[in-house]
Chain A
């Protein structure tokens, strides 16, 4: 069988496109699972996870505590228990650029600043925020400049403050939204909010004050997503809590795939509630109803 030059020329576009096609398809390779802290105490319904540069902090919600694991490449070790009376029921965490961690407490509905070792520093004290004065944070994130973005369930807006809590700006939720559960900021400063109820993602461009529909009709791929993250390539990761999966969207909002599945075994997830991404492409998932933390290499 001889391959003529003509045949090669015909196949050239396909051969050239193949690596690009393969690069777009992600793989979630299970790395490891964490079940215990350093004292062999089992995790119980962990709901939050924050990826720091040298440590990963876990909100061990069912035990009403935090657990700090030392991070060394793809491994998490030790697992130091941190019990804080100021954060008795942590439900969501977010690492800041400066190495602190923001912790949302489900009971008091306050956001706390924690030091890198997990010790309590202070609560986020909002200053000069426009009415309504009462703020009910549902979730939070930080941008590259360490400004804090808070999803305010009561004021139906995203509030942006600096690290001292001083108000910088706000984005009202679009009128047609169902329930906004999470916020993410990409590296260019684009702000995304996730409407869990309607399966939609809205985006505010870096120079905009308003959210515009970005992706809709996700109900075909998602039951109830609760967490949104972006990676340095601008891809968007949605965590489908009620049908236990990760849904990947391209930077343009195009559907790229649905990964992982419901189950109890290693590599399967069960009502995951938050995920974070490390700089070396590892996704750490708070696998809530499996009472564990799982690490996946995103390829």
Chain B
């Protein structure tokens, strides 16, 4: 081991000496004045001396070598950098993202090293622009604000995000975690300790994903439980859905799919299945669990994800259309899909809660305040004798690329679709 370390040291010294001798030879060739690679720069860039007084100085700068990163004469890049700001660091530093990375920090992938590191000098180790979690929260503001308000913060969060996360990329876990979710937790919370076993009602949860019930950062609830907890979980009645803890296969559910959920949610089940139009995921293999987390969730209704993200994960086309919208329909912007749609089943088109479209739209919009255009069953659409004039005759609920959710760029163009005699 000692021999190996010594060899590495020797190789390092040799490399430095070789570099210096090469530089010296180049300096002679170009007849550079002494200090031309750095000291001379300071003569003009005087405020820079203040930076150099900081505790941690970037090693090239320590050696007064500005030309490692900057070109003294000309550059195609900002701040006279020798190459693009996204790649200049990688001239010396090895890649921060390995080929087998499971998760990568977005800023690293973008090559924005300077969002976290000061390229010259900083008061913090590794030239970080801020200290520890303050740096992380400068971007992850929502999390920082949430943690400032909540009652119980997970102790590692109080210390440093890097207790659980890697700063650049992770080869082993999602969310830049140092390992997979469960293994990160088990690093501190030993599953064989009596308190752990008791808290989990004797169920072997060491293989389960802890974040299905717990918020790893903090929570207002005891046990760092997520905001919304499924009633049997809150009451520690795991055996309501799962086999007994002492059973050979304790985590197996007592019944499969929707049949299990029906045991308690019978009324909802009956209401859902008595309607004409079913949301297909309800009758799919995943059943209720396609959208709901059976244990706990940050979101209301134990949704797996925020509603817009959840619905959008299948309805990609609807989300795609949203991006083109000029005028935004509020429930859509806010991700309140269930304001208009029943996520389980309906007797109406588009799984709408009320018949499309007049009844549905007037739930929020007061027609009498809108216009005096005739509307309703008795008013026929001149373009199609089987249709009556409704809100959808002029507006598309999920928006268009034109103002006021209109189908056409101008009101005139819209009107003359039916009032052809007014066309000029």
Those of A231-256 within 8 Å (CB) of chain B = 242-243
* B237 CB-CB contact with A under 8 Å: no
Assess the A35–B386 pair: CB atoms within 8 A.
Answer: yes
Assess the A243–B283 pair: CB atoms within 8 A.
Answer: no
List the one stretch of A24-32, A95-103, A284-292 in contact with chain B.
A284-292
Assess the A154–B283 pair: CB atoms within 8 A.
Answer: yes
Assess the B276–A35 pair: CB atoms within 8 A.
Answer: no
Which of A43, A154, A291 is the most central at the interface, judged by chain B CB atoms within 10 Å of its CB?
A154
Across-interface contacts of A42 in B (CB, < 8 A): 386
CB nearest to B383 among chain A residues: A264
**Given the known A-B contacts A35-B386, A109-B278, A223-B320, are A179 and B285 also in contact in the complex, defined by CB atoms under 8 Å?**
no
Give the distance to chain B from A291, nearest Cβ to Cβ, in Å.
4
* B284 CB-CB contact with A under 8 Å: yes
Across-interface contacts of B315 in A (CB, < 8 A): 224
Assess the B276–A136 pair: CB atoms within 8 A.
Answer: no
A 87-98 binary contact with B (CB < 8 Å = 1; else 0): 011000000000
**Given the known A-B contacts A153-B283, A242-B317, A264-B381, are A106 and B386 also in contact in the complex, defined by CB atoms under 8 Å?**
no
Give the distance to chain B from A52, nearest Cβ to Cβ, in Å.
24
Assess the A106–B278 pair: CB atoms within 8 A.
Answer: yes
* B13 CB-CB contact with A under 8 Å: no
Those of A247-299 within 8 Å (CB) of chain B = 263-265, 288-292
**Given the known A-B contacts A223-B320, A292-B386, are A106 and B314 also in contact in the complex, defined by CB atoms under 8 Å?**
no
Assess the B387–A290 pair: CB atoms within 8 A.
Answer: yes
Across-interface contacts of B385 in A (CB, < 8 A): 35
Assess the B314–A179 pair: CB atoms within 8 A.
Answer: yes
Bound together, the chains give a CA A95 to CA B307 distance in angstroms of 40
Assess the A154–B284 pair: CB atoms within 8 A.
Answer: yes
Across-interface contacts of B387 in A (CB, < 8 A): 264, 290-291
- Pairs of residues from A and B, 5 with the lowest C-beta to C-beta distance, nearest first: A223-B317, A264-B383, A291-B386, A224-B317, A89-B276
Across-interface contacts of B284 in A (CB, < 8 A): 136, 153-154, 156
Those of B368-409 within 8 Å (CB) of chain A = 381, 383-387, 393
**Given the known A-B contacts A107-B276, A197-B314, A223-B317, are A290 and B285 also in contact in the complex, defined by CB atoms under 8 Å?**
no
Interface size on A, residues (CB 8 A): 34
Those of A83-132 within 8 Å (CB) of chain B = 88-89, 106-107, 109
Q: List 19 A-B contacts (CB under 8 A).
A: A44-B386, A106-B276, A109-B278, A136-B284, A138-B280, A153-B280, A154-B285, A197-B314, A197-B316, A198-B316, A242-B317, A242-B318, A263-B383, A264-B381, A264-B383, A265-B384, A289-B349, A290-B387, A292-B384
Give the distance to chain B from A69, nearest Cβ to Cβ, in Å.
16
Give the distance to chain B from A232, nearest Cβ to Cβ, in Å.
31
Bound together, the chains give a CA A263 to CA B386 distance in angstroms of 14
* A190 CB-CB contact with B under 8 Å: no
* A165 CB-CB contact with B under 8 Å: no
B 265-290 binary contact with A (CB < 8 Å = 1; else 0): 00000000001111010011100000
* A178 CB-CB contact with B under 8 Å: yes
Assess the A178–B314 pair: CB atoms within 8 A.
Answer: yes
Instruction: Please pick, from A109, A289, A292, the residue contacting B283 in the complex, using a CB distance under 8 A.
Output: A109
* B419 CB-CB contact with A under 8 Å: no
Across-interface contacts of B314 in A (CB, < 8 A): 178-179, 197
* B140 CB-CB contact with A under 8 Å: no
Bound together, the chains give a CA A154 to CA B286 distance in angstroms of 8
* B51 CB-CB contact with A under 8 Å: no
Bound together, the chains give a CA A106 to CA B347 distance in angstroms of 10
Bound together, the chains give a CA A109 to CA B383 distance in angstroms of 35
Instruction: Please pick, from A136, A197, A242, A290, the residue contacting B386 in the complex, using a CB distance under 8 A.
Output: A290
Bound together, the chains give a CA A212 to CA B411 distance in angstroms of 48
* A161 CB-CB contact with B under 8 Å: no
* B321 CB-CB contact with A under 8 Å: yes
Instruction: Please pick, from A107, A155, A223, A264, the residue contacting B285 in the complex, using a CB distance under 8 A.
Output: A155
**Given the known A-B contacts A106-B277, A291-B387, are A45 and B317 also in contact in the complex, defined by CB atoms under 8 Å?**
no
Bound together, the chains give a CA A93 to CA B315 distance in angstroms of 25
CB nearest to B283 among chain A residues: A136
Give the distance to chain B from A188, nearest Cβ to Cβ, in Å.
30
Across-interface contacts of A156 in B (CB, < 8 A): 284-285
Give the distance to chain B from A144, nearest Cβ to Cβ, in Å.
29
Across-interface contacts of A136 in B (CB, < 8 A): 283-284
B 60-72 binary contact with A (CB < 8 Å = 1; else 0): 0000000000000
Assess the A43–B386 pair: CB atoms within 8 A.
Answer: yes
Bound together, the chains give a CA A35 to CA B393 distance in angstroms of 18
**Given the known A-B contacts A154-B285, A242-B317, are A179 and B280 also in contact in the complex, defined by CB atoms under 8 Å?**
yes
CB nearest to B321 among chain A residues: A223
Bound together, the chains give a CA A197 to CA B312 distance in angstroms of 10
Bound together, the chains give a CA A179 to CA B280 distance in angstroms of 9
Those of B300-314 within 8 Å (CB) of chain A = 314
Assess the B384–A243 pair: CB atoms within 8 A.
Answer: no
Assess the A265–B283 pair: CB atoms within 8 A.
Answer: no
Bound together, the chains give a CA A102 to CA B349 distance in angstroms of 23
A 17-60 binary contact with B (CB < 8 Å = 1; else 0): 00000000000000000010000001111000000000000000
Across-interface contacts of B321 in A (CB, < 8 A): 223
Across-interface contacts of A219 in B (CB, < 8 A): 316, 320
CB nearest to A242 among chain B residues: B317
CB nearest to A61 among chain B residues: B276
Bound together, the chains give a CA A243 to CA B316 distance in angstroms of 13
Give the distance to chain A from B279, nearest Cβ to Cβ, in Å.
11
Bound together, the chains give a CA A288 to CA B383 distance in angstroms of 15
Bound together, the chains give a CA A254 to CA B168 distance in angstroms of 42
Across-interface contacts of A35 in B (CB, < 8 A): 385-386
Across-interface contacts of A291 in B (CB, < 8 A): 384, 386-387
Across-interface contacts of B381 in A (CB, < 8 A): 264
Across-interface contacts of B320 in A (CB, < 8 A): 219, 223
Give the distance to chain A from B290, nearest Cβ to Cβ, in Å.
10
Bound together, the chains give a CA A291 to CA B316 distance in angstroms of 26
CB nearest to B320 among chain A residues: A223
Instruction: Please pick, from A43, A44, A243, A288, the residue contacting B317 in the complex, using a CB distance under 8 A.
Output: A243
Give the distance to chain B from A90, nearest Cβ to Cβ, in Å.
10
**Given the known A-B contacts A45-B349, A109-B283, A223-B317, are A265 and B383 also in contact in the complex, defined by CB atoms under 8 Å?**
yes
Bound together, the chains give a CA A198 to CA B321 distance in angstroms of 15
CB nearest to A105 among chain B residues: B276
Bound together, the chains give a CA A138 to CA B283 distance in angstroms of 10
Across-interface contacts of B285 in A (CB, < 8 A): 154-156
Across-interface contacts of A89 in B (CB, < 8 A): 276-277
